[in-house]
Amino acid sequence: MTSNDTTRAPHPYVGMWVTADGHIRQELLPDGRYDEARGTRESAYTGRYTVTGSHIDYVDDTGFTATGDVRDGVLFHEHLVLYREGDERAREDGRRPRG
């Protein structure tokens, strides 16, 4: 390794995010791409994302755009609420009655 080589840790938001019911699973990849599965449909939406502070801008591979914001470790992505995979809050929210 030379002094010009740098090793960059992945952004803290990189990883799997899921809805409380597990139906939607969105993986933010370290290369700035995302892959979203819905139900049994793998890679239902794919594209790229950029992070500015706690805000995420998405552009899918068809050109559709969306946004998200991370607050208190929860990703609010348009009308969705996603939790880190394995987050206890996801299971708690999934048990709440819908009303």
Q: What is the pLDDT of residue 1?
A: 43
Q: What is the pLDDT of residue 43?
A: 98
Q: What is the 3-state secondary structure of 9-78?
A: CCCCCCEEEECCCCCEEEEECCCCEEEEEECCEEEEEEEEEEEECCEEEEEECCCCEEEEEEECCEEEEC
Domains of the chain (ranges; CATH) run 15-92 (2.40.128.290)
Q: What is the pLDDT of residue 4?
A: 54
Q: Give residue-wise pLDDT tens across range 12-63.
A: 999 999 999 999 999 999 999 999 999 999 999 999 999 999 999 999 999 9
Residue 98 has pLDDT above 50, yes or no: no
Quick check: 48 and 63 in contact, CB under 8 A? no
As a whole number of angstroms, the distance between CA 67 and CA 56 comes to 6
Residue, of 55 and 1, whose pLDDT is higher: 55
